[in-house]
Amino acid sequence: MPLKLDVKRKLSARSDRVKSVDLHSKEPWMLASLYNGNVHVWNHETQSLVKSFEVTDLPVRAAKFVVRKSWIVTGSDDMMVRVFNYNTLEKVEMFEAHSDYIRSIIIHPTQPYILTSSDDMSIKLWDWEKKWNCSQVFEGHLHYVMMIMINPKDNNTFASCSLDKTVKVWQLGAKDANFTLEGHEKGVNAIDYFQGGDKPYIISAADDRLVKVWDYQNKTCVQTLEGHAQNVSCVIFHPELPIILSGSEDGTVRVWHSSTYRLETALNYGLERVWAMARLRGSNDVAIGYDEGSVIVKLGREEPAMSMDNSGKIIWAKHSEIQQANLKILGGMCNARTHAHTHAQTHTHTHAHAHAHTHTHKYTILHC
């Protein structure tokens, strides 16, 4: 049976072409960097543009929040990295980072590092506590390096993708890539790591119109998702729900089940080509950047959705993993059904039955 997804548009912001988006982890803010050289910060609760400033007169292809420093870091086609205090909009730092366009920036979750990738085919590690010293250069790709992503389960490793048709996995401190994943027939535009559970998966999106799921331990392609009519420019594993989202120059965002790989739905908001997506751990919100603006959609609900069949088996989804238990096995807890309605907000196995009937029509899992 198909997934049952609530999809609610929380923000729709018209602008020039959006090249990257990011979500703030503490404020209700979405960051959008634009092809025209500007950066916008939108508040999705008030539906208002709260900050806007010009970075340069060339495209800003990458921008990220650094929440612990109150910074926005940008990378642009003038090869410069710029750092702004997002409260004062004061420029904190500016330096030439590459010899060609900067495609991607990623912030290390614990160390004072950023990683940048460029059309000069290199990836660089910068340490802001050492006056933005370039601590390491990673070389090995044979074409533009379109995106980098740190492994959430091992912050010393990261993945990169390139128009050389490959995905590479690297380790901080090591000169050469650990290994290379090959299988796309055209350039690879985007990657993401699976964040929940034990699956050692990377997902990739490419100009061959395909999305591929890779097992980075076995170094094999697990699944190929077909259906987009144009280049696939961005892709994410949702951090809370069992879904994959892929965005394409065909104007659609396709939503796939991350276990069955079935296409569940396609979103089209009429804003032309899709260029970027961002997700946030602990949130169901997804930001999407297009030719003509950006949107935030909320998928499903924040609570785990549950379902129960006649045998007492309950199934629920949390952190994109499907989990299950049996109420009868758990000590005849079906006697607690009446009690559960009173304490429905307590998410224990005992009280799950009340939730099972209220949430089955929502986003997640179905009767088995």
- Over residues 314-334, the pLDDT tens digits come to 665 555 556 666 655 554 544
- Report how far apart, in Å, the C-alpha atoms of 275 and of each of 7, 150, 181 are: 20, 20, 23
CA distance 217 to 12: 39
* Angle subtended at Cα 252 by Cα 365 and Cα 203, rounded to the nearest 5 degrees: 65
CA distance 286 to 76: 23
Average pLDDT per run of 10 along the chain, which is 368 residues long?
Answer: 81 97 98 98 96 98 98 98 97 98 98 98 98 98 98 97 98 97 98 91 98 98 98 97 97 96 96 98 96 96 59 62 59 44 40 34 30
CA distance 14 to 308: 43
- Answer whether 306's CB lies under 8 Å from 350's CB: no
Nearest to 291 by CA among 2, 3, 14, 62: 14
CA distance 236 to 152: 13
CA distance 99 to 78: 9
* Angle subtended at Cα 147 by Cα 132 and Cα 296, rounded to the nearest 5 degrees: 100
- Answer whether 352's CB lies under 8 Å from 314's CB: yes
Nearest to 107 by CA among 148, 161, 137, 136: 148
- Residue 345 CB-density burial (10 A; 0-12 exposed, 13-18 middle, 19+ buried): exposed
Burial 15-42 (b: 16+ CB within 10 A, else e): bbbbbbbbbbeeebbbbbbbbbbbbbbb
CA distance 259 to 38: 39
- Of how many residues is the chain composed? 368
356's enclosing H/E stretch is helix 352-359
The residue with tokens 């870091």 is 73
Nearest to 18 by CA among 271, 245, 191: 271
What pLDDT is recorded for position 70? 98
Strand pairing category for 71-76 and 253-257: unpaired
What pLDDT is recorded for position 307? 61
Please name every residue paired with 225 in a beta bridge, in sequence order, or none if there are none. Answer: 211
Query: CA torsion, points 29, 275, 132, 164, in degrees to nearest 10?
Result: 160
Could you say which DSSP state residue 304 is in? Answer: P
Chain-centre distance of CA 27, in angstroms?
Answer: 18
* Predicted TM-score (pTM) of this structure: 0.83
